[in-house]
Structure 1
């Protein structure tokens, strides 16, 4: 059970959730999008949102700005979150533009707002759960897509609800967060996506 709970934190890591959301979008969108375009977008996103943050983490660790990948203190989160905001801005500028996909564009705008909110909280010495921010944001995006395209994805939404619960349980089991930090993370991830729905739904 211990290994299973720990695995949820790795499988549903915050770095992977935006890419997961994009893959789901491409699989459900009724619009025709060429396979070569989809592959190019996914590879570019993987490089920018997964590989680049990992490399930046090792750079920050070498410089002594972070101590571990868990970012146990609010202070340790300031540099990684600041750099991640810049990465998301690059995504919005170069990869996911309004002309390409309005849904994905506002999905990443929501991610940027959540990152900025988490950064502000870190500066205020509050450690909101980044795992919860990521999974709850993707969950809200899925709900909006189901309404927008009038598709039945109740099974997926139910699975995402279970995943949110599993991630929260995992973070508590690992003593990485308190209940307040998990709840705050849930709302910081979900509210920006909910507000931005009005711009593309």
Structure 2
């Protein structure tokens, strides 16, 4: 039962869903008026580009034996998916979330791009960082920034995300997917770009 629960945590809080959670969190919390059709169009685009497209590309890579599992256990397996993800995020920044439209989400995704690039470069040098921690900590820092920006109480979100990040770390350690060092590297890699870009929109 414990093993199933910890595996489920890694699956439910997979890195692919974190960008979408960030977008939905922003639209839910922002006091700015953004027409519902525009919100729906952005969310639809993010779902297609950050979830459906990567899953389809994963199955293609698995078919040609470039990856073994969706968790990308080795640094060699990570190279192509991370590069593809960098291209996808760049496309989002150019076509979906431009800086003159929704600046907060633009810098959120710019932070995601920087974190992904850092993870890609580390993989080239055979340094393995937890992608789960990168994604969760990036969203966590963005949520804090949104709360500060709009002066709204997000204590519940912060508490929940701290529990989720702890659960993800416990899950990855239990499954022997990462070491403590790899989790810490992932945490820093996700947090730092979001923290760095806060000054451009706060």
The two structures have a TM-score, normalised by structure 2, of 0.98
Alignment correspondent of 1:173: 174
Shift of 1:69: 1.6
Alignment correspondent of 2:41: 40
Tell me the distance in 1 between the aligned counterparts of 2:77 and 2:49. Answer: 21
Shift of 1:3: 1.5
Tell me the distance in 2 between the aligned counterparts of 1:34 and 1:146. Answer: 21
> Which aligned segments of 4 or more residues in structure 1 are displaced greater than 2 angstroms?
none
**SS of 1:158 mapped into structure 2:** helix
Shift of 1:64: 1.8
1:120 aligns with 2:121: yes
Residue by residue over 1:133-175, the C-alpha shift from the partner in whole angstroms, topping out at 9 and shown as x without a partner, is 0000000001111110000111110110110000000101111
Tell me the distance in 2 between the aligned counterparts of 1:68 and 1:161. Answer: 27
Shift of 1:122: 0.3
Tell me the distance in 1 between the aligned counterparts of 2:65 and 2:11. Answer: 24
Alignment correspondent of 1:78: 79
Alignment correspondent of 2:193: 192
Tell me the distance in 1 between the aligned counterparts of 2:131 and 2:71. Answer: 10
The two structures have a TM-score, normalised by structure 1, of 0.98
Consecutive unaligned residues of structure 1, counting only runs of 5 or more, are none
Alignment correspondent of 1:106: 107
Q: Paired residues, what number?
A: 201
